[in-house]
Amino acid sequence: MEDNILTFRREGLYCEAGDFYVDPRGRVNRAIITHAHSDHARAGHKNYLCSDPCKALLQVRIGQKSPIESIPFGQEQMIGKARVSFHPAGHILGSAQIRIEVGGYVWVVSGDYKPQSDKTCETFELVSCHGFISECTFGLPVYKWQPEVEIHHQINHWWEKNKADGQGSLLFAYSLGKAQRVLAGLDSSIGPIYAHSAVHSFLDHYKNAGVVLPDVKKVDKEKDFTGAMVIAPPAVEDSSWTRKFRQVKRGFASGWMAIRGPRRRKNLDRGFVLSDHADWTGLIDVITGTGAETVKVTHGNGDALSRFLQEKGVNASVLNESSFRGEELD
């Protein structure tokens, strides 16, 4: 990459000037973490640096005693010869883009991001740079998100109908970020709200950050869930845990629900298109808005997005994707 500020090694994306990695997959001495999702934040590094609001979530993910340092959004820190700062990515609470400046040349590593509205995390900040590494999980024109408020209305309407039919509602959503975003939009007047322990473990941290959430009980034993809403992670969809829910309708909240195939394959009653990643328009607007001379895309449909950008005169190419895997279920 230009000026050799960032290079690709077996462990991941490396900055020689600061001797650190960004979201490394292999164990390293110093890891800068964009956010607390498991495909970006892994245990075993000797030192971690993340944004202030990310720290508590990262501790839940990799352990309370992990050597984690944090800094506020926007504050610059010199690491070796690299000037580093974190800027809101709008993906989940505490998610950050990493701005790296060496010798006056600036690269920004986006991590996962979305410029769309989300009241459960910090608002995305556009950061000017010379080089931009952008995720492209949903890098095809077919992906175009509706406003969040419309999806929340759809979920509440589905829940209300299920209750009227004498059913409970079991909605699968990724435990960190997506689940809290769903919870923030639920109408608690419809009925009681429950969550799997993997979801519940993050709720206090969101509330401590000022995010308004309804009262949520943890599912800890079998009971009558008729008329209730239960939020659970995708990992338990086909597990023994779900057998306690007999009279329920099943739903799934994910950007992948924009495609009919996943809905059929998962034997779901309803899919809700709610993503914590940028859609096609969001990707284009952000990438062009940075003013970057060079763009590397990764973590999704890179070929289609890079070709589109090239046709617009942008020096764009696909970064080696083997080290950047997105949340499969968004």
- CATH of residue 92: 3.60.15.10
Which tokens hold the place of 122? Answer: 């910090």
Mean pLDDT for the chain overall: 93
Same domain, 51 and 153: no
Same domain, 155 and 212: yes
pLDDT value of position 96: 98
Same domain, 84 and 179: no
Q: What is the pLDDT of residues 192-229, one digit of tens each?
A: 999 999 999 999 999 999 999 999 999 987 778 999 99
pLDDT of residue 265 exceeding 80: no
Higher pLDDT residue, 85 or 266?
Answer: 85
pLDDT value of position 165: 97
Residues 6+ apart with CB under 8 A from 161: none
Specify the pTM: 0.93
Portion of the chain with pLDDT greater than 70, in percent: 94
pLDDT of residue 325 exceeding 60: no
329 sits in the region (left: phi over 0; alpha: psi -120 to 50; else beta) called alpha
3-class SS string, the chain: CHHHCCEEECCEEEECCCCEEECCCCCCCEEECCCCCCCCCCCCCCEEEEEHHHHHHHHHHHCCCCCEEEECCCCCEEECCEEEEEEECCCCCCCEEEEEEECCEEEEECCCCCCCCCCCCCCCCCCCCCEEEEECCCCCCCCCCCCHHHHHHHHHHHHHHHHHCCCEEEEECCCCCHHHHHHHCCCCCCCCEEECHHHHCCHHHHHHCCCCCCCCEECCCCCCCCCCEEEECHHHCCCHHHHHCCCEEEEEECHHHHCHHHHHHCCCCEEECCCCCCCHHHHHHHHHHCCCCEEEEECCCHHHHHHHHHHCCCEEEECCHHHCCCCCCC
Q: What is the pLDDT of residues 14-72, one digit of tens each?
A: 999 999 999 999 899 999 999 999 889 999 999 999 999 999 999 999 988 889 999 99
Same domain, 263 and 174: yes
- By mean pLDDT, which of 15-24, 46-55, 176-185, 252-261 is the weakest? 252-261
| 136: in domain | yes
Query: In the chain, how many domains are there?
Result: 2
- For 220, half-sphere exposure in the C-beta direction (CA atoms, 13 angstrom radius) is 5
Range of the domain at 303: 2-143+277-323
Q: In which band, very low, low, confident or very high, does the pLDDT at 294 lie, cut at 50, 70 and 90?
A: very high
Same domain, 108 and 156: no
Same domain, 136 and 285: yes
Same domain, 259 and 299: no
Same domain, 91 and 57: yes
Separation of CA 44 from chain center: 21
| 47: in domain | yes
| 328: in domain | no
pLDDT of residue 296 exceeding 70: yes
| 225: in domain | yes
pLDDT of residue 2 exceeding 80: no
pLDDT value of position 3: 57
CA-CA distances (angstroms) from residue 265 to 21, 70, 195, 269? 37, 41, 24, 11
Same domain, 113 and 17: yes
- CATH of residue 243: 3.40.50.10890
Same domain, 133 and 234: no
Same domain, 14 and 137: yes
| 302: in domain | yes
Same domain, 231 and 154: yes
| 18: in domain | yes
Residues 6+ apart with CB under 8 A from 201: 60, 175
| 330: in domain | no
Closest CA to 319 of 300, 309, 2, 112: 300
Of 256, 272, 288, the residue that ends a domain is 272
| 250: in domain | yes
Higher pLDDT residue, 61 or 287?
Answer: 287
